[in-house]
């Protein structure tokens, strides 16, 4: 029986909202369907390495700022 990989945590929604970007705008910039952005934000879909790097590049941050294998600590706490 194949083992499930651990969830991939991300800050896509936080970065997107912080910058006033809609899911549709982000999707168009990345060349994906806007629903894909929603799946990514909810952790229902793990991006390919190329897509993860595109997302980080779009937000001009290191990929580790967007994605983590462990939950991110709360901000400002």
pLDDT value of residue 3: 54
The residue count for the chain: 77
User: pLDDT tens for residues 2-26?
Assistant: 556 677 999 999 999 999 999 999 9
Full-model pTM:
0.86
User: pLDDT tens for residues 28-75?
Assistant: 999 999 999 999 999 999 999 999 999 999 999 999 999 999 998 877
pLDDT value of residue 7: 78
Interatomic CA distance for residues 33 and 15, integer angstroms: 18
pLDDT value of residue 59: 98
Tell me, rounded to whole angstroms, the distance of Cα 6 from its chain centroid.
15
Greatest pairwise CA separation for the chain in angstroms: 43
- Using left for φ > 0, alpha for ψ between -120 and 50, and beta otherwise, residue 43 falls in left
């Amino acid at each position: 029986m194949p083992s499930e990989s651990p969830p991939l945590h991300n800050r896509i929604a936080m970065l997107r909202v912080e910058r006033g970007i809609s899911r549709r705008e982000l999707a168009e910039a990345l060349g994906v369907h806007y629903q894909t952005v929603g799946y990514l934000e909810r952790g229902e879909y793990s991006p390919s390495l190329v897509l993860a790097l595109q997302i980080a590049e779009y937000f001009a941050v290191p990929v580790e700022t967007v994605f983590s294998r462990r939950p991110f600590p709360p901000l400002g706490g």
